[in-house]
Structure 1
């Protein structure tokens, strides 16, 4: 049974973190994390480079952010982005969070820029480091993530919009009150209306970091991207695809909304396991990772600034 650990933090999310960091989920030991010094702190990240890598060719880079109380290895298992990267020939980096809202709280991303680790600076320096080490396509740097990682990918679209070409937040799209993108940012997002952690609608018992409902955050990105048209398509019996088009600088928005899904990653092989831990149903027929990557491929960085009102 889900219970609260203080306002807005559920046992379910803690169980998720403990579950996903279990070594039983990995057929082989995960690779050691790489280290990077940022503002006097040692930051860590998991790196995957496809076997096809050739320094004479540029490769897209996907930043893949784990959720609260989780780990890069867990996010790799949940999303299977490294398997996809080997097939599609792109580099994946999965950073590790350090921030804690409370001293004894779980690690998460410092999305609201509170006192503590500067995660935007971390990612800025991480990208710069990887550019020196690998042949990375300047216009094809993307960010995705789950839950707290989705919030972090949203933050990067605000603060590093001149670098991040497009984002794919899953179960946690945000538009922070201090968000000031320099352009429209193409966005693909997924959320279930039965999400019991990051509520679809803002509720009295929503987490303290959850300042607005999903539709409000989505609407803010639609406004930022100056999208002029919207269509709705029934993807399946329980999933509706809402698309916003005619946006400035081709900054299109795709939003997959499930009436039944909980706090899960659509298409994840861990669907039944997560359901057993109280996080709800997964849309197994909705391949989020593949859809995110196909969306990213169609949306390289376009430096045309957003139109002024």
Structure 2
């Protein structure tokens, strides 16, 4: 599999109602049917031997899953040593975006954080039925868009992606993590439910767990970050006035209670951080050394706290930095 090294302009969009800027032609992607449309992994996946990634920098790859050609980007930090096992973070874009959106370091800072901490970050691309791969979404359970409506096997895609990454890199299986925003923040919850054996921890921003069934095979640490005034995925549940998906989103309190229970934690959290405009609280006594933590900003709407305001999106609160909190939560394990 040959990496594609085209220069591209990174557009941005947060999801659920945010404005998406069209990508230049060379940057446009589409998860194209391999022969015909498929909505589940009934077609055998292509799993060829792929070349190892040895050079730092940005690489782009494809793989076959469920009859679709799926795309992902990989950023390898300058400090990477091929013989040394590396932590890997999967970063999921919001609905209406794509992998280039999430890799835009001006807005999310995940590449800079990977360079600082020395881990690999991979940016999978969601499913789009539109030319150019616009409005890509994830099938995260009850949300969202075409990926959900067509029953796209995104969990299977991630399984195949991880298998391919393990051929390309010396992945430390005890340090594989998932994060994302909005619909892309909901996807890590589904992975924790169905692929707990593959992930040590997840972190979600502005997207709650909307899975219909969740029976993780082992404890998975959870960090959730949400603005109290989110107008799309409402803090107290339901779809806000600016949401394009009329889904009855799970409330943040219910979300946290669910994962505290799944991980066997004490039911009442304790305040562990309080700064002007934000606080964090954590649940104690979780099984297997897992952690469950919630960080809340008073303002910021449907956004990535500490990030630069995207065109068509909300200005995130600067009381805390989602990028810093997530990096610390993951890499201290």
TM-score where L is the length of structure 1: 0.81
Structure 2 counterpart of 1:199: 234
Choose which of 291, 295, 310 in structure 2 pairs with 1:252: 291
Q: Are residue 220 (structure 1) and residue 258 (structure 2) matched?
A: yes
The CA deviation at 1:247 is: 0.5
Say how many residue pairs are matched. 275
Q: Are residue 294 (structure 1) and residue 328 (structure 2) matched?
A: yes
Q: Encode CA deviations 1:250-290: one digit per residue, 9 max, x unaligned.
A: 1111111112121110111x23x45xx3x444122312112
Q: Encode CA deviations 1:217-265: one digit per residue, 9 max, x unaligned.
A: 1110011011115211452121121111110111111111112121110
CA 1:155/1:256 → structure 2, altered by over 3 Å: closer, same or farther?
same
CA distance in 2, matches of 1:54, 1:193: 41
CA 1:31/1:251 → structure 2, altered by over 3 Å: closer, same or farther?
closer
Q: Spell out the pairing of 1:90-105 with structure 2 (5 A cutoff).
A: 90-98=119-127
User: Aligned with 1:33: secondary structure?
Assistant: strand
CA 1:293/1:105 → structure 2, altered by over 3 Å: closer, same or farther?
closer
The CA deviation at 1:144 is: 0.2
Q: Encode CA deviations 1:67-102: one digit per residue, 9 max, x unaligned.
A: 01101111122311111111211111000001569x
Structure 2 counterpart of 1:55: 82
Structure 1 counterpart of 2:318: 284
8 Å CA contact 1:99–1:108 kept in 2: the answer is: yes
8 Å CA contact 1:16–1:70 kept in 2: the answer is: no
Structure 2 counterpart of 1:17: 20
Structure 2 counterpart of 1:106: 135
The CA deviation at 1:201 is: 1.6
CA 1:218/1:70 → structure 2, altered by over 3 Å: closer, same or farther?
same
User: Aligned with 2:126: secondary structure?
Assistant: coil
CA 1:234/1:88 → structure 2, altered by over 3 Å: closer, same or farther?
closer
Structure 2 counterpart of 1:84: 113
Name structure 1 gaps, 5 residues minimum: 1-10, 24-29, 300-309
CA distance in 1, matches of 2:211, 2:172: 28
The CA deviation at 1:64 is: 0.2
CA distance in 2, matches of 1:168, 1:204: 21
CA 1:280/1:185 → structure 2, altered by over 3 Å: closer, same or farther?
same
CA distance in 2, matches of 1:135, 1:32: 16
CA 1:22/1:218 → structure 2, altered by over 3 Å: closer, same or farther?
farther
CA 1:134/1:234 → structure 2, altered by over 3 Å: closer, same or farther?
closer
8 Å CA contact 1:17–1:71 kept in 2: the answer is: no
Structure 2 counterpart of 1:8: none
Name structure 2 gaps, 5 residues minimum: 1-13, 26-56, 142-147
After the TM superposition, which segments of 4 or more aligned residues of structure 1 sit over 4 Å from their partners? none
Choose which of 148, 151, 175 in structure 1 pairs with 2:183: 148
Q: Are residue 236 (structure 1) and residue 275 (structure 2) matched?
A: yes
Structure 1 counterpart of 2:145: none
Structure 1 counterpart of 2:208: 173
Structure 2 counterpart of 1:161: 196
Structure 1 counterpart of 2:31: none
CA 1:100/1:259 → structure 2, altered by over 3 Å: closer, same or farther?
farther
CA distance in 1, matches of 2:97, 2:220: 27
CA distance in 2, matches of 1:167, 1:261: 22
CA 1:280/1:39 → structure 2, altered by over 3 Å: closer, same or farther?
closer
Give the number of the structure whose residues are more often helix, by fraction: 1
Structure 1 counterpart of 2:61: 34
User: Aligned with 2:20: secondary structure?
Assistant: helix
8 Å CA contact 1:97–1:107 kept in 2: the answer is: yes
User: Aligned with 1:290: secondary structure?
Assistant: helix
Q: Encode CA deviations 1:182-212: one digit per residue, 9 max, x unaligned.
A: 1221011100011111111224756333432
Bigger shift: residues 45-54 or 63-72: 45-54
